[in-house]
Structure 1
């Protein structure tokens, strides 16, 4: 639900939860590679449910989404292949620092205004109130951003929305709701490719995937429904605080294992 409302995908909550609470959830620790692979498989369901709901309301910019996927998809596969090269302690420490930065970015985006640069490709989006929004991008920067986000997505199993949405809103001036919906579409495609690598490497716990899928589907649909009826400001602060607390716990545990 969180991931669908703000376009994060949900992996940034699923992965640390599996890593930190593995023994309580399954009776044994869950390695970070399995947590990442399992998260990406669950994200496919969340992102698909959200995309279908947003598409019905014509909030998904499929053309921009496919462009971002050109590099984010292959990069997600590369990131997924690199996950196993990080030791558990190093993964928790690096992921914790990354989550802390994401929490800070989610706070900062409320105070940073979108840049006013005129981009070579310009699009017009008319919202449900009939208000027109002009946004745009350049193909080169979009492809570079897609690659970087895809790499991070595959490496940490987070989907990439925590980076996609702020960049789309602040750099390319996407309306927030359009950025969220389009991000979920890209996450669906990238998660499918990234998870295929973890499946090939045997780094997916299918029991956990099956346990996550019903909630992921319902949460993805419900989050998209809620997002159309709220600004999400209060929920965003709850998400920021949650990310901050999880990040601190991961950093402490990761540093202790080094």
Structure 2
């Protein structure tokens, strides 16, 4: 029963994560934390083990999603590699910081962070991307399947600094940096939504590997649970990419932010009353 539940969590988390470029941890981490308080079978799970196991699972979510998005030619490799200069070291630092948090503190901080992400998703459609100066950074173009061409760009130094912060948060909470990186790419750097999502999943792959190495060294990966989550993560990533090409973005965002608000409030309540 435990294995079936973990596979289903892996599918759900990875489907949602690859759908909007967040990585599966935004679902997997709260689900495992909730199970640790609900049943004795999962009571031995600590925030550190949950995060470490989630990040290890996201290696396969990122790999599966990236391979699928490559076929649609929506991954901006150059921009993704520039962002990785910041997110890589940030994810390692975040993984070490996780060691200092107990369950209640982790739940409060993580719940607050999830509510912040849901707020970003609520307001992101109300703002147009900020203008950028073409002569002061990287300029990119992308033509979608309908023939519409998008122009976008960013200042490399600013991109690396933002990615460092995002990678740090990813390492702490085990959620994948896309929860902040995708809105940032869309709002500040003019990225088309589909390119932002695909590029975020491309970044999650190496970032998850770096964070996982740190967590493995600290003994924070439950290998039995990881083996159960990985098949679900692989399958879910394919499902998420498929849905990304079929569903309207407004429907996706509405569903996700509703889930995030519920999860965030539940975690804060758990941390305060724990």
Higher alpha-carbon deviation: 65-74 or 169-178: 65-74
The equivalent residue for 2:92 is: 77
Is 1:209 equivalent to 2:226 in the alignment? yes
Is 1:68 equivalent to 2:83 in the alignment? yes
Is 1:101 equivalent to 2:112 in the alignment? no
Deviating beyond 3 angstroms after TM superposition, the runs of 4 or more aligned structure 1 residues are: 23-27
Structure 1: distance between partners of 2:75 and 2:123: 25
Shift of 1:12: 1.1
Structure 1: distance between partners of 2:82 and 2:264: 31
Selected match of 2:55 from 18, 23, 40: 40
The equivalent residue for 2:125 is: 110
The answer to whether the 8 A contact 2:20-2:197 is kept is yes
Gaps of 5+ in 2: 1-14
Instruction: Please list, as runs of the form range in 1=range in 2, the aligned pairs for 1:146-161 lying within 5 A after superposition.
Output: 146-161=163-178
Is 1:241 equivalent to 2:255 in the alignment? no
The equivalent residue for 1:24 is: 39
The answer to whether the 8 A contact 1:5-1:232 is kept is no
The answer to whether the 8 A contact 2:74-2:195 is kept is yes
- The SS at the match of 1:133 is strand
Q: TM-score, normalised by structure 2?
A: 0.91
Higher alpha-carbon deviation: 208-217 or 26-35: 26-35
The answer to whether the 8 A contact 1:4-1:220 is kept is yes
Shift of 1:27: 4.1
Structure 1: distance between partners of 2:71 and 2:106: 38
Shift of 1:235: 2.6
Selected match of 1:143 from 149, 160, 163: 160
Alignment coverage as a number of residue pairs: 257
Q: Describe the shift of the 1:25–1:212 C-alpha distance in structure 2 as closer, same or farther (beyond 3 A).
A: farther
The answer to whether the 8 A contact 2:132-2:153 is kept is no
The answer to whether the 8 A contact 1:19-1:29 is kept is no
The answer to whether the 8 A contact 1:80-1:198 is kept is yes
The answer to whether the 8 A contact 1:114-1:171 is kept is yes
- The SS at the match of 2:48 is helix
Deviations 1:198-241 (A, max 9, x none): 11111011111111111110110111122122223223212111
Q: TM-score, normalised by structure 1?
A: 0.96
Alignment RMSD (CA, Å): 1.2
Selected match of 1:54 from 69, 79, 88: 69
The answer to whether the 8 A contact 1:61-1:182 is kept is yes
Q: Describe the shift of the 1:181–1:233 C-alpha distance in structure 2 as closer, same or farther (beyond 3 A).
A: same
Is 1:9 equivalent to 2:23 in the alignment? yes
- The SS at the match of 1:212 is helix
Structure 1: distance between partners of 2:26 and 2:231: 18
Q: Describe the shift of the 1:65–1:25 C-alpha distance in structure 2 as closer, same or farther (beyond 3 A).
A: farther
Is 1:123 equivalent to 2:173 in the alignment? no
The answer to whether the 8 A contact 1:45-1:216 is kept is yes
